[in-house]
Amino acid sequence: MKVSAHWLRRFVETDEPLDRIAERLTTAGLEVDEVEHWEATFDGVVVAQVVDVAARADLMDARVCTIEIDAQGTTREVVCAAPNVVADMRVPYATVGATLGDGRVIEHTQIGGIASAGMLCSAAELGLGADDTGLWRLPNDAPLGQDLGAYLGLPDDSLVLDLTPNRGDCLGMLGVAREVALVCGCQPPVHDVRPVAASDASERGVSISAPGACAVYCARVVTGVDVTVTPPPWLTERLRRAGIGAINAPVDITNYVMLACGQPMHAFDADRLAGAINVRYAEADESIVTLENEEVVLSPETLVIADDNGPTAIAGVIGGARTAVGPETRNIVFEAACFTPAAVAGQGRRYKIQTDSLHRFERGVDSAMAEPAIEYATALCQQIAGGSPGLVVRADGQNLGAYQPAIELDSTAIKRTLGQVIDPQFVTETLSALGLDVTQTGDDAWRVVPASWRFDLAIAPDLIEEIARIYGYERIATQPARVALGEPVNRLADPRPPLHVLRARGYSEAITYSFVDPELEAKLIGEQGALALDNPIAENMGVMRRTLWAGLLEAYLYNRRRGQNDIRLYEAGLCFEANDQAEHSVVQTARIGGLVAGNAQPQSWDAAPRGVDFFDAKGDVEALFAAAGRDDLSFEAAEHPGLQMGRCAHIRCNGVHVGWLGQLADGVIKDNKNKDKPYLFEVESAYLERAATIHHEPISDQPQVVRDLALVVADDVPAGDLIECARSVDASTLQSVDIVDVFYGGNLEAGFKSVALRLIFQDKTSTLTSEEVDQTITRIMSALTTTCGAYLRGA
């Protein structure tokens, strides 16, 4: 919700500066995201009046216009080709030296030998709209010679409110003004709307066939409306600063009333409506062509506004093209209704339509505002576009007030919730200032009936929350908490993945969206099996993630663009895949993903920088599994669509595939002027849960025996197979096997390599002898020769 400061101050009188109002609203629970500044995009433009328009044969379509530019009758001659220029109209006039919305500077020119002192402007040329078909016609009471920016109330500021779903009452200027009055201690706004007397007895019949879904529906015929008239700038400017474009007078009026009162409205072409209006649910196979010219097949669960020829609007969502107001419209029907949130909730997602009206109806609209909104719109229509109003026809459904019974409140409940006593007088004054019907039933007890616009107040804690936010959370005294200690927790048996290991190794946790870019994810793991969202919130968030890497890469690129090159990120979250065993079912898998890029160690004076490599990432994965008590981890070279060939591996636990490790493949993301691709890993969280019991062994005090084996094996034998084979020998004294050297060339036969293994032996209770170690080495060499075809180098 964007709240223009100029417009707001017409609802509530306060001298508080806007930044102070923003601070107080945020403190009271209506968060102000930002203050948006509106400046005039032009300079040197004033209000002028066309006095005379003279055609010249040598100017083709252009004409010579004599204009008055001030109240003293000063005139200028301007050559103008706008098709709508006529005498006596008031228009924006860009003087010589003026700057337009697109940055053009107006100069004194000669057109067809005639001097043109300036330029008459359209709204588009001033950057104030999209209409470039002709001059912007200003009202006849626009002051001659006044700076156009000042006339339009520029500069202005808008508060951009991030409202919680329960505060639908603040989706209108009236609701925001109530809050401003409350937090600033000034008089609450009074929005009196005087009924507009009917000029004749014309009316449109209204009925409600779904009373549980529609509390009230009002309609009024207005005949003889000039749809082509240009609405006044004060109206279109307020719409523009709220992010709504001008369309035509009746539609602009309905949008204006919605912004002012929070009551969505709609205007039908009365001559296109067939018979009476009925609020009902759609019938089987019914359809409607919306205002966006899209045909929608309606669900029987969809509430519609219908006439004798079928649906004319999806209730609370969007109108239909068949009865839309157009340039030829002369007679209109204004409608204002209150649909229950449950009746319209989800319809926007069902049909992929999001509108300002639906946004309000889903959060709750004041059921008492429908008829005043009709009167307000009628008065504006007469003021702007003329017309003769008929009778207001009203139909009532189920009264929403029945869902808002009186709430009992007492000081004991307030103290129990807030931890301190609140002055009863403050409670009474605050609840009354909120517009609630308050009856004091005792010295410290109240019966409160919520206002019609506060759908969110249903129980006593709701009222206590209102009291607390107005009282000020910062004023609520802190109280010492008494916590009863429970049984000691065995932290060593914590079943959660040991993510602290990654944090200790320099990783930062990232929390990213479950919705990811389809193109990026397809590059990472392929297109097959992607779960497309039916109604994504953005084009680059169109599928559910099947890997955590998509979000981590977005975070990586975000940091890289801001000069952060040494990056270590991890995320623990769910990934989503289709369930092949059940249609329309999704399998959720908890995973842990990581990304590492940049230098392996912080840059230092005593060591040259080294970029991270496959083994740095592999070491982090090994440390993560080791902390979980897993000693059955292995890696196997493999291919993955999102990872670099030759730098990619399966991660296995006890032979079971549990994840991937490797360097990002070329072409997945833009290099950002750096060829060093990040390394990624991803594992299933279930394999990182700690065992319920942890066994401890004492450290041996016996000496270690170190032996190195220089083996010659074929190039295609993985070093991991050598280690696994050596460990497979039943030797209780063998403590570790590591690769210490890999050598190619020299006197080695082509197709072979030399791998040096370092074996460490240690007994727990006695000192090993050379004979015992030699016997074990012999068994290990026998296994290596038989399984891997290895032999000792130089043998």
**DSSP code per residue over 235-254:** HHHHHHHTT-----HHHHHH
Q: Which residue has the higher pLDDT, 479 or 517?
A: 517
| CB 502, CB 510: distance < 8 Å | no
How many whole angstroms separate alpha carbon 38 and alpha carbon 760? 74
Locate 477 and state its tokens.
Answer: 């005294």
163 backbone dihedrals φ, ψ, rounded to 5° = -85, 140
pLDDT at 697 over 80: no
Taking the alpha carbons at both ends of the chain, their separation in whole angstroms is 82
Q: Measuring CA to CA, how many Å separate 260 from each of 1, 174, 191, 752?
A: 12, 6, 10, 82
Strand order in the sheet with 407-410: 407-410, 445-449, 437-442
Locate 88 and state its tokens.
Answer: 């006596």
| CB 465, CB 480: distance < 8 Å | no
How many whole angstroms separate alpha carbon 375 and alpha carbon 94? 39
What three-state secondary structure class fits 477? coil
Average pLDDT over every residue of 26-39: 92
Q: Measuring CA to CA, how many Å separate 246 from each of 36, 329, 378?
A: 20, 17, 18
Pick the closest to residue 609 from 596, 600, 618 (CA basis): 600
Please report the domains of the chain, with CATH numbers, ordered by start residue. Answer: 2-39+155-184 (3.30.56.10), 43-151 (2.40.50.140), 206-400 (3.50.40.10), 404-472 (3.30.56.10), 500-688 (3.30.930.10), 705-792 (3.30.70.380)
What three-state secondary structure class fits 291? coil
Give the pLDDT score at 601.
86
Give the pLDDT score at 664.
94
413 backbone dihedrals φ, ψ, rounded to 5° = -65, -35
pLDDT at 764 over 60: yes
Give the pLDDT score at 694.
58
How many whole angstroms separate alpha carbon 162 and alpha carbon 262? 16
Q: What is the pLDDT of residues 717-733, one digit of tens each?
A: 988 889 889 988 877 88
Q: What is the pLDDT of residues 73-129, one digit of tens each?
A: 999 999 998 999 999 999 999 999 999 988 899 998 888 778 899 999 999 999 887
pLDDT at 570 over 70: yes
- Burial class for 247, CB neighbours closer than 10 Å (0-12, 13-18, 19+): middle
DSSP lists the bridge partners of residue 279 as 208, 305
Average pLDDT over every residue of 339-345: 93
**Which residue in the block uniquely carries the two structure tokens 């109280």?**
479
Grade residue 385 by pLDDT with cuts at 50, 70 and 90.
Answer: very high
How many whole angstroms separate alpha carbon 172 and alpha carbon 626? 58
476 backbone dihedrals φ, ψ, rounded to 5° = -75, 120
SS (H, E, C) 619-688: HHHHHHHHHCCCCCEEEEECCCCCEEEEEEEEEEECCEEEEEEEEECCCCCCCCCCCCCCEEEEEEHHHH
**Which residue in the block uniquely carries the two structure tokens 């097959």?**
528
Q: What letter would DSSP give residue 165?
A: T
Question: How do 437-442 and 90-99 pair as beta strands?
Answer: unpaired
How many whole angstroms separate alpha carbon 466 and alpha carbon 488? 40
Locate 671 and state its tokens.
Answer: 């290099």
Grade residue 699 by pLDDT with cuts at 50, 70 and 90.
Answer: confident
Average pLDDT over every residue of 698-703: 88
* Exposure b/e, 529-547, CB count within 10 A at least 16 = b: ebeeeeeeeeeebbbbbbb
How many whole angstroms separate alpha carbon 593 and alpha carbon 583? 28
Model pTM score: 0.71
**Which residue in the block uniquely carries the two structure tokens 């002055």?**
423
pLDDT at 488 over 60: no
Query: Is the backbone peptide bond immediately before 155 cis, with ω within 30 degrees of 0?
Result: yes
Average pLDDT over every residue of 372-394: 96
Q: Measuring CA to CA, how many Å separate 679 from each of 518, 522, 527, 556?
A: 21, 18, 22, 11
pLDDT at 749 over 80: yes
Strand order in the sheet with 705-714: 734-743, 752-761, 705-714, 791-792
pLDDT at 370 over 60: yes
- Looking at every residue in the chain, the average pLDDT score rounds to 90
**Residue 431 identity:** L
Give the pLDDT score at 487.
58
Q: Which residue has the higher pLDDT, 533 or 195?
A: 195
The residues near 430 (Cβ < 8 Å, ≥ 6 apart) are 466, 467, 470, 471
The residues near 62 (Cβ < 8 Å, ≥ 6 apart) are 56, 79, 80, 81, 111, 112
How many whole angstroms separate alpha carbon 91 and alpha carbon 514? 52
| CB 335, CB 219: distance < 8 Å | yes
Q: Could you tell me the sign of the dihedral formed by the alpha carbons of 218, 222, 228, 233, in that order?
A: negative
Grade residue 628 by pLDDT with cuts at 50, 70 and 90.
Answer: confident
Q: What is the pLDDT of residues 154-184, one digit of tens each?
A: 999 999 999 999 999 999 999 999 999 999 9
In 152-204, alpha helices (H): 173-184
Q: What is the pLDDT of residues 124-160, one digit of tens each?
A: 999 887 778 899 999 999 999 999 999 999 999 999 9
| CB 257, CB 265: distance < 8 Å | yes
Q: What is the pLDDT of residues 194-219, one digit of tens each?
A: 999 999 999 999 999 999 999 999 99
Q: What is the pLDDT of residues 237-254, one digit of tens each?
A: 999 999 998 999 999 999
CB atoms within 10 A of CB 752: 15
